[in-house]
Structure 1
């Protein structure tokens, strides 16, 4: 177990006459025993970051420290890390036991100690009955357990997991996710997981580093990135289904500020907590999560409109409404209503759950004004 620090980390690839930044000035401070997810779309630089930590990718600039020790120039085997790839990469002719023990035997560890370590790891990962099997006899979930066992057998200070669940189907993936979380509590090793699946990151990690085009967008707990996204990208990337985001204009009517959409399709008062941040006749991006929009009756509502699509999914219902070129939807309990296309509906926005972003920078409007 060790603290992991990334300081001003850069990775630049030379492409003809230009420089391509895969990672830009990345700073992360991961505590001892913390589970951190590197999350972002394909090509954002998260796997490159993991490979630099592992020593498989050369660092262009910056520093990597493990347990207070700078490891930039250390060989991968000297960094005391464990690495499990998305591809299992096992030796087909060898048994599971021999696959797990391979690196220990190559390092000159005594057979007795190897056996003790393997028995401990096998019990932890529930693969005791698989030790005599060949890789070709294993299911995807079993192969991934063996893959993780090979990474843990070295008793690493930092465990690196590169998309470990990407090849698994839905049910196996969910089961393995639970097992990885349980495993982390048992070994208490500093763990970094790379994933493009935000549900996976939210379920597993203590904190999530959200990356876009090589740049860190936000580093926080699942609660923080979900409830207090720092910018529009984070707001739209985190959450399933994603946050409703639409363009609004601020107008004044009878002394009060209102947000309205194009062509005045809908109009609603600016929440009290945003009155000090927005300006009249300025355009903003308004965001609210589907779970923060309720279907109501009576006079206390934000928007009165018509149902575009109604989906009953059993545990929940989704009410879609069409706003010019985009759709906004609400998630409500399936016991509350049964609507059909064209029905009139009143929607209420939870005022304290509204997010306002700057239209050009995408930053939260509060942060933009604080910087000014």
Structure 2
């Protein structure tokens, strides 16, 4: 007698053509949303730039703006536009692009929404080196900027070395500790200097777009023209690097690519700080805002555009929020960024997300 046969449950396999169709549909939807968001951010950037340049206590029409821009001399108007409003707006865009892209880069690489140059000590490293050059060595202008760049690179190298290969929260915590040490250095240098030098240092330390010459703006633009294409080239493997060093190495992308991207991010932060001082929280806020617009997806370009818009709006508020007083832009971004940090922490605690 043969053994009884047991019924075999039917095994269903997914319909491969249907799966491919769903995947293509989802991909098209994601790309469409990305294009729409980027287009809206570009429009917002143009609108914010126009508001910063054309409006305020001295207004310009669009035809007047272009006439002056192309060389026509109009008493008073030419000076106000070409020496006050336009340089501040252009500098705000350049600094915002540098800080916004860097903040998004750090948060993507380290898989941590708190990992921005403000938090991990890069900005404060540049600040401490710049203040040392300004107050102790008596240097000015380009020499201070060079010291700021060197200080940012040195501090980031120290943080990376102490954090080791684990990255993530270890690097963030190391950066927070180094940032505290750099803050102590800055406070010590301010305390031992005379009143005039301290006032000069504080105007730079807070983060300001006031009285920045066109030569400095041109140098920053040249630096971004070199660094941003390098960042775009290296970021092609960024989605793989987000998986972590070990997973990325298994997929053929070594740790050297992570270090190269971090170095480019540090240099972008350093040149922005050298030009305008350590403008607080722009790099920190740009990434989460861009991700919210993109439905949780990362984008360096979106982060750069958000950073530029934030800088323009903050600078407009700094110029006209208090009548008769032009505030440093870092005061406005700090006032907004502090509550934003607390909200982000509370949101992470409420949802149980720590990464």
- What range describes the TM-score normalised by the shorter chain of this pair? under 0.3
- Higher-RCO chain (CA-CA 8 Å, sequence separation at least 6): 2
The TM-score normalised by the length of structure 1 is: 0.23
Structure number with greater Rg is 1
Structure with bigger strand share is 1
> TM-score, structure 2 length as denominator?
0.23
